[in-house]
Amino acid sequence: MPLTFSQWYQTQKPKHYSYPRHVEYLCEIVDKTIKGEFQNVAISLPPGHGKSQTITTRLPIYWGMRNPQDAIVFTGYSQDFANRNLSRPARELAKELGILDNSSEAMEEWRLTNGARLVARGVGSAPTGINPISLLVCDDPIKDRMQAESETERNNIWDWWTGSVVQRFFPRTKAFVIATRWHHDDLIGRLKAQGDDSWTFINLPAIAEEGDPLGRAEGEALWPEVKPLNFLEAVRRQMGEYNFQALFQGNPSLRDGAIFKVDRASFIDERELPPMVERVRKWDVAASSGKGDYTAGVLVGKDANGRYYVLDVQRFQESTDARNQRMLATARQDGVAVRVVVPEDPGSAGKDQALAYLRLLSGYNAKAVRETGSKETRADGIASQFNGGNVSLIRANWNTAFLEELRQFPTGKHDDQVDALAGAFNELVSSNNVWNW
């Protein structure tokens, strides 16, 4: 029985490598793809964690040894990069194994002794004469921050992908995009935005977050033997949260926004949080299960020095009953010291709904508020504090989606978190804290 890729990799792994769990996981993903459980896979990993050694160098050799009639394509951000960093290591491995056809020295195209064809192409270069492609490995299609921040460059990459690469896919084609994320609108970001069910997206952050694919505890390093947590935290401090979230956590977001300047966001670990003198959670409520608008509850606190903190964000799409249970569970978690603000829409129906919320939250410090003015006007106060550097976010897995909504406000698709944030802040700074029970 032939070896699986996981088994074969352990016989051919780099001599200086151990077999860490994340590399084992990558090998398992490859085996599942070969078996047909996945069609195409996009994997984001932090730099220096073995993605190229595992997939780009070894998978094409393993594939070619078993599929002698196939054409296999490596591609990266430039032809030189594809030749030097992708094709050359794979060719050297084939030579070590004694399966390299020495009839050609060209890095752009070479063969194994069984006839399998391996081709290197840079972004922008069409893989002409290769039809169909049986295996494509796209490794780091973006070179650096400068290229990532250029909309023109990102459009060029997408035009190349859709116009020169995808047209050469066939039903049996397997594609792997493995990359360090640079920008929310990079190749992986655009593939996600297409909603194509043939793609599976996997992100392995350097520091584990909730729901980690490897089952790590939150805060655990991805490769602690090589890049331990204290090293990663030092890197975070040096490069800043914007770059660290993109490159090391796989959670890129834009630098700026029309109203909220998200590049000015500051973060704090929960253990470093000072005592809060006041806390308010504001709910922006929707009734939808799995689609449509979100229900969002944002908890904001203020310390004795007048600094504000976004302490927690609850955001979900649930039916009415499930939503109410989530709201009640959140109130229990927050405790009676937290003031809770629920919406009161205009009209008698709005009053009835607000009364239902207050009954739901009986025993907690709850109040219904009718909002007036535009969303932008209501957000002015917290935006000023945010842009002035007087707001910190607890570092948590909700940060990226929260900041992205702030960045897109007021033209984004959703504004539930912004509404809840603004409502909580406005209640904190209100000169009249008369509560309706």
Residue 379: pLDDT over 90: yes
Query: pLDDT category, 64, cuts 50, 70, 90?
Result: very high
Q: What is the mean pLDDT of residues 321-339?
A: 96
Q: How many CB atoms lie within 10 A of CB 1?
A: 4
Specify if 36 maps to a domain.
yes
Give me the percent of the chain exceeding a pLDDT of 70.
95
Rounded to the nearest 5 degrees, what angle is found at the Cα of 126, between the Cα atoms of 123 and 131?
A: 130
Res 253: pLDDT? 65
pLDDT tens column, 180-227: 999 888 999 899 888 888 999 999 999 998 889 999 998 999 999 999
Task: Verify cis geometry, omega within 30 degrees of 0, for the bond prior to 132.
Answer: yes
Q: In 3-state terms, what secondary structure has residue 152?
A: helix
pLDDT tens column, 158-181: 999 999 898 888 888 999 999 999
Distance CA 388, CA 94 (A): 57
Q: In 3-state terms, what secondary structure has residue 54?
A: helix
Specify whether 19 is located in the same domain as 122: yes
CATH code assigned at 353: 3.30.420.240
Residue 215: domain span:
5-247
Given a contact cutoff of 8 angstroms between Cβ atoms, the answer to whether 416 and 284 are in contact is yes
Which of 225-229, 235-239, 395-399 is the least confident region? 235-239
Beta-ladder partners of 343: 369
Specify whether 23 is located in the same domain as 170: yes
Distance CA 155, CA 298 (A): 35
DSSP 399: H
Specify if 76 maps to a domain.
yes
Distance CA 273, CA 283 (A): 23
Specify whether 157 is located in the same domain as 194: yes
Summary mean pLDDT of the chain: 90
Residue 353: pLDDT over 70: yes
Of 215, 247, 279, the one marking the end of a domain is 247
pLDDT tens column, 80-111: 999 999 999 999 999 999 999 988 888 999 99
CATH code assigned at 175: 3.40.50.300
Residue 433: pLDDT over 60: no
Instruction: Output the DSSP codes for 302-340.
Output: EETTS-EEEEEEEEE---HHHHHHHHHHHHHHH-TTSEE
Q: Which residue type is seen at 72?
A: I
Res 281: pLDDT? 98
Distance CA 133, CA 119 (A): 10
Q: Give the residue among 168, 145, 138 at the shortest CA–CA distance from 44.
A: 138
Q: What is the mean pLDDT of residues 241-269?
A: 82
Distance CA 171, CA 185 (A): 27
Res 42: pLDDT? 96
Res 364: pLDDT? 96
Res 431: pLDDT? 43
Specify if 121 maps to a domain.
yes
Q: What is the mean pLDDT of residues 18-28?
A: 92
Of 197, 213, 247, the one marking the end of a domain is 247
Pairing relationship of beta strands 339-343 and 365-369 according to DSSP bridges: parallel
Specify if 154 maps to a domain.
yes
Specify if 256 maps to a domain.
no
Specify whether 127 is located in the same domain as 67: yes
Specify whether 169 is located in the same domain as 228: yes
Res 194: pLDDT? 85
Cβ-defined contacts of 329-334 (< 8 Å, 24+): 330/281, 330/297, 331/281, 331/361, 331/364, 331/366, 334/279, 334/281, 334/299
Beta-ladder partners of 41: 176, 200
- Better-scored residue on pLDDT, 404 or 43: 43
Specify if 210 maps to a domain.
yes
Q: What is the mean pLDDT of residues 337-343?
A: 96
Specify whether 298 is located in the same domain as 234: no
pLDDT tens column, 115-154: 999 999 999 888 777 767 899 999 999 999 889 888 899 9
Specify whether 208 is located in the same domain as 277: no
Specify whether 19 is located in the same domain as 48: yes
Q: Is the pTM of this model over 0.75?
A: no
Res 333: pLDDT? 96
Res 349: pLDDT? 74
Which of 14-18, 297-301, 316-320 is the least confident region? 14-18
Specify if 202 maps to a domain.
yes
Residue 255: pLDDT over 80: no
Specify if 437 maps to a domain.
no
Specify whether 273 is located in the same domain as 242: no
Specify whether 305 is located in the same domain as 395: yes
Domain count, the chain: 2
pLDDT tens column, 288-314: 666 668 999 999 999 999 999 999 999
Give me the percent of the chain exceeding a pLDDT of 90.
66
The Cα-based distances of 396 to 6, 79, 249, 251, 312 in angstroms read 33, 39, 12, 12, 8
Given a contact cutoff of 8 angstroms between Cβ atoms, the answer to whether 75 and 151 are in contact is no
Q: What is the mean pLDDT of residues 55-70?
A: 92
Specify whether 162 is located in the same domain as 275: no
Of 247, 271, 286, the one marking the end of a domain is 247
Q: How many CB atoms lie within 10 A of CB 154?
A: 21
The Cα-based distances of 93 to 9, 139, 227, 244 in angstroms read 12, 18, 26, 33
Q: What is the mean pLDDT of residues 256-282?
A: 89
Specify whether 159 is located in the same domain as 183: yes
- The token pair that represents 220 in the structure block: 């655990």
